[in-house]
Amino acid sequence: MKMDYSVYLVTEESRDLKELLFIVEEAVKGGATIVQLREKTSEGKLFFEKALELKRLLDQYDVPLIINDRVDVALAVHAAGVHVGQSDIPLKAIRAIVPDSMVVGVSVSNPEEAQAAQRDGADYVGVGAAFPTASKGNATVLPPGMLEKTVQSVTIPAVAIGGIHLGNITQLNHIDLAGAAIVSAIMNAPSPREAAEQFRELLLGRKGSKAETI
């Protein structure tokens, strides 16, 4: 499956299954190109059930599903990929147990982490936090210029993450990003479809951006 990271939707945990599926489907209809299921506190069975239903939905639209942290869940539902952080299972260990076709993304906050991720086999990196964010309270906002420096340090696709909304996303226009990870600005929008449409228009309108070609 071709990976388009431009409008990278990350779900919020405080949603029941019916609401989750509704919001995600609306966002996909509006132009979300990839969806990451993030369930930090859910028990394994609930996580699996949500992932399975979300995978069935996204398959109808040919949109990839990425699972946050849980390699076992990603394997169990045959997700397109898994996304891990710096404190999770090492990337080399993940690569040893997942199919070659599975995409693996890593959260990074500086060039050293980004280069290590690329060296160990990451398919893409999530760089942030780009802005203050409520969805990850312990995230540190990157100093001015650090996001761009980190993106430039690798050749694999880089997605900005953290506190991104329609009011600040244009501040990232000068950075050669593959896309932007959006959480509450779509999940909590009055119309997730319209929000996704606006993000897609802004991201794909960036001249020279990787989002145009990936």
Measured CA to CA, the distance from residue 51 to residue 59 in angstroms comes to: 12
Residue 100 assigned to a binding site: no
Residue 125 assigned to a binding site: no
Catalytic residue among 38, 55, 200, 210, which?
38
Residue 163 assigned to a binding site: yes
Catalytic residue among 50, 55, 107, 153, which?
107
Residue 135 assigned to a binding site: yes
Catalytic, 136? Answer: yes
Residues 194 and 185: beta-carbon distance below 8 Å:
no
Residue 184 assigned to a binding site: yes
Residue 206 assigned to a binding site: no
Residue 101 assigned to a binding site: no
Catalytic residue among 136, 193, 200, 206, which?
136
Residue 69 assigned to a binding site: yes
Catalytic, 200? Answer: no
**Which residues have CB under 8 Å from 33's CB, separation 6+?**
4, 5, 6, 7, 8, 63, 179, 200
Catalytic, 107? Answer: yes
Catalytically active residues, by annotation: 38, 107, 136
Q: Which residues are annotated as a binding site?
A: 36-40, 68-69, 88, 107, 133-136, 163, 183-184
Q: Which residues are annotated as a binding site for Mg(2+)?
A: 69, 88
